[in-house]
Structure 1
Amino acid sequence: MRRRSVLRLGTAALATPAVLAALPVSGAQAAALNIRGVDLSSLPKGEDKGAVFRYADGTRGDAVRILREAGANWARIKVWVNSADGYHGKRQLLAMARRIQAQGMRLLVDFHYSDTWADPGKQFKPAAWNSLTGTALETAVRDHTADILGSLARQSTPAAMAQIGNEINGGMLWPDGRSTDWDKLAGLLNAGAQGARSASPGTRLALHLAEGGDNGGTRWWFDNATSRGVPFDVIALSFYGYWHGTLAQLRTNLHDAASRYGKDVLVAETAYPFRLGSKDNHEDIIASPSQLVPGYPATPQGQTAWMRDIGQVVASVPGGRGLGIFYWEPAWTAVPGNGWDETDPSSGNGWENQALFDYNDRALPAMWWA
């Protein structure tokens, strides 16, 4: 069978970011990393709604295989408890785990412990758990975690890693698990870890914060977690350069966290736009030149350079503790019905200009960043 190229990049490094716009794409030159990951949480719904994915030459293909052939070796999938649209649950996760394994990739499960998006600004309890508090809520967390990871193990597609919560700077399962009450939050985190360990002992556990450039915030959070004996194997951080500081601040934080806590570190989310201007009628999250990181234009070259440079930062962590990076939602393209609001089928997508497929559904060169 003919192997189709994903526009593999050459070996020469790109010049400084300031002159990227004037140069052809040459080489991503990211240092070698163990994890070259992609978050594919939106893919099942996108495919159901008609999303198409193509190699750089226009040949239609499977998104997971296209990304794998470009170098991705891990996939991250989020899990909600009972979503309004029926997606992001156990059924889709089990099916995606089979696809991921078939491509020789490893799986990271991202527990949101919610029926909807969980992030630093919102950590809503699932509706089925609204009346639960104290040990009853801990039991629900433990049982849900064990059910998901146990189901993966039973179908012989175990998770290699699992996040106990998503961007939990302010805690999770509010109001019970706010980080203003660390004893309660630690109880919930411990319950998730216990469920994971009981159902899938080989799964590494990650604790995930946003604000990857905030060293003071990272120290405060993990000092509280470690002082209460919360178990974890990996420190996972989101880092978007247009929100979370500079690459130098990320480097400082990753180096310090790895040294201070003796743990591996991971960038669990990053991305960058390849263009400005929305494909659908919904304004993109990054929509204007003023939002861009200086030196990184919203072009395929700028997107590639961002991935090269953040990869070098992660790889610089001493002792090989910089595990790697996950690109967030590279296959979330603009198709009707697969928007931001799971309760509104007409909602649009604010992310398509940061995907790794262009507006003609073709693979972009940043896909080969690793």
Structure 2
Amino acid sequence: MNPFRIIIAFVITFCSPYTNAQKYVGGDLSLLTKYENQGAKYKDKNGTAISDLLVYVKQQGWNTIRVRLFVDPVKGQTITDAGNKKEVVQDLAYVKELGKRIKDNGLYFLLDFQYSDTYADPSKQWTPEDWQSFNDAQLQQEIYDYTLNCLQELNGAGATPDLIQTGNEISYGMLWGAKGTNANRCYTNSSTTNWTRFINLLKQAGKACREACPSAKIIIHSERAAKPDVLTDFFDRMKNAELDYDIIGLSYYPYFHGKLSVLANALNTLENKNYGKQIQIVETGYPSQWAVPGTTEAVDYDYSVDGQKQFITDLIEMLAEHPLVNGLSWWWAEANANGCTGDLKNGWYNAGLFDNSNGKALDALYEMKRFHGDETSINSITKNHNEDIWHKISGSRLHYEPTSTKGIFINKGRKLIVK
């Protein structure tokens, strides 16, 4: 038998369970309602007006929309950094309305519980003001009651989530207390401080999710892609505690975390640990014009429309080599100051998927659909075997002819093994 045919047959057999598995691709559109209310004008790449962004992104291959939920964003605005106050608006009523639109349009709804009145991240996990007087036992009951109530109300509004994050970027715990305190922060490197408290909170949140939305997938979210030792310490603890969840969620921003190889290393590390969980990149993004404020890492891509597109193209091709990865979400994808008449009109954030000056969709938006695998699967190679294009054996396309990179590559129906 032709050895090339043996390799192709093996890859199809081995990869098909993952190639055909459900994949979730889209973006966080948490501010869409506010942008619309302030008159933002969304357009396609040719300048034609988009009447409904949810309908449009679905036409471009998106199937999942992520939305954050704050406990009391009005109170959160009083402790939020000045530049971000305008973004902290997503209370339950807001999310019910937007969530129903998402579901009515036949899209998957990813709900992001922040469990705070304001943005929660690894350096800010402030307890909601109304919960700050609770002791640990009362806080466990409150997170259960709050989670259950929110999900029951979403169910009743026709906005049942399909995926649920119980916490946002919770690498070092959550619900630390009032702004500025680290008293309940969790530490890695063999420390046991606060971990039992934190895991008990997660268990109560997960219990409410299973009761209210038994079909939903629970995501546990860390942003420590650049620190695999912290990742494994964190998820080892989740495993040892027998925490009930389905998906490992990661944030990855090259300007904060480093090059694609950093994320690839994190994914390899997680896969080698055999946690038995799928993985999603629940937050990513890249600028289209200038560096995001606070950028800490050197990047491989220009700050341009082309650079942004190349970033997501390369990211998707790398993710295709990791069959456990089944989700990809662009954060603040809807950022668009064009036409805005309110406090969103300054358009400072340029890592969304629309041009703030004219409202046109950027090229990266249209690249997202490639995550589904139609253009990166082994099937596409067999269908287009006469094209002079090089692919990795996984099916992802190369932008160069391999000469020194080790691996098995395919071009025009023939294989090349580079040792």
- Return the TM-score normalized by structure 1: 0.81
Structure 2 SS opposite 1:243: helix
In structure 1, C-alpha distance between the alignment counterparts of 2:184 and 2:343, rounded to whole Å: 30
1:50 counterpart letter in structure 2: G
Is 1:213–1:246's contact at 8 Å kept on the other side of the alignment? no
In structure 2, C-alpha distance between the alignment counterparts of 1:244 and 1:308, rounded to whole Å: 18
CA, structure 1 residues 337+131, in 2 after alignment: closer, same or farther (shift >3 Å)?
Answer: farther
Q: How do 1:1-370 residues align onto structure 2 when only pairs under 5 Å count?
A: 34-61=23-50, 62-84=52-74, 87-175=89-177, 177-180=184-187, 181-260=194-273, 261-276=275-290, 284-285=292-293, 293-294=299-300, 296-317=301-322, 320-334=323-337, 335=340, 337-338=342-343, 350-351=348-349, 353-358=350-355, 359-369=357-367, 370=369
Structure 1 SS opposite 2:250: strand
Structure 2 residues not aligned, in runs of 5+:
1-18, 78-87, 178-182, 188-193, 370-419
Is 1:330–1:356's contact at 8 Å kept on the other side of the alignment? yes
CA, structure 1 residues 154+228, in 2 after alignment: closer, same or farther (shift >3 Å)?
Answer: same
In structure 2, C-alpha distance between the alignment counterparts of 1:186 and 1:177, rounded to whole Å: 12
Alpha-carbon shift at residue 325 of structure 1 (Å): 0.7
2:48 counterpart letter in structure 1: T
Alpha-carbon shift at residue 163 of structure 1 (Å): 0.5
Computed over aligned residues only, the root mean square deviation of the Cα atoms, in angstroms, reads 2.2
Is 1:285–1:350's contact at 8 Å kept on the other side of the alignment? no
Structure 2 SS opposite 1:242: helix
Alpha-carbon shift at residue 247 of structure 1 (Å): 1.2
Is 2:254–2:297's contact at 8 Å kept on the other side of the alignment? no
In structure 2, C-alpha distance between the alignment counterparts of 1:286 and 1:169, rounded to whole Å: 20
1:297 counterpart letter in structure 2: D
In structure 2, C-alpha distance between the alignment counterparts of 1:46 and 1:114, rounded to whole Å: 23
Structure 1 SS opposite 2:312: helix
In structure 2, C-alpha distance between the alignment counterparts of 1:312 and 1:240, rounded to whole Å: 16
2:312 counterpart letter in structure 1: M
Higher gyration radius (CA): 2
1:95 counterpart letter in structure 2: E
In structure 2, C-alpha distance between the alignment counterparts of 1:130 and 1:108, rounded to whole Å: 27
Is 2:226–2:266's contact at 8 Å kept on the other side of the alignment? yes
In structure 1, C-alpha distance between the alignment counterparts of 2:334 and 2:202, rounded to whole Å: 30
1:179 counterpart letter in structure 2: C
Alpha-carbon shift at residue 64 of structure 1 (Å): 1.8
Structure 1 residues not aligned, in runs of 5+:
1-30, 278-283, 340-345
Is 2:114–2:167's contact at 8 Å kept on the other side of the alignment? yes
In structure 2, C-alpha distance between the alignment counterparts of 1:187 and 1:328, rounded to whole Å: 29
In structure 1, C-alpha distance between the alignment counterparts of 2:142 and 2:46, rounded to whole Å: 48
Is 1:100–1:106's contact at 8 Å kept on the other side of the alignment? yes
> Once the two structures are superposed, what CA deviation does each residue of 1:268-326 show, in whole Å capped at 9, x if it has no partner?
1000111128xxxxxx5268xx96512x1111111111111111222211xx3110210
Bigger shift: residues 187-196 or 46-55? 46-55
% same residue: 29
Alpha-carbon shift at residue 159 of structure 1 (Å): 0.8
- Return the TM-score normalized by structure 2: 0.72
CA, structure 1 residues 247+56, in 2 after alignment: closer, same or farther (shift >3 Å)?
Answer: same
The aligned length equals 321
In structure 2, C-alpha distance between the alignment counterparts of 1:116 and 1:156, rounded to whole Å: 26
In structure 2, C-alpha distance between the alignment counterparts of 1:292 and 1:329, rounded to whole Å: 22
Bigger shift: residues 145-154 or 186-195? 145-154
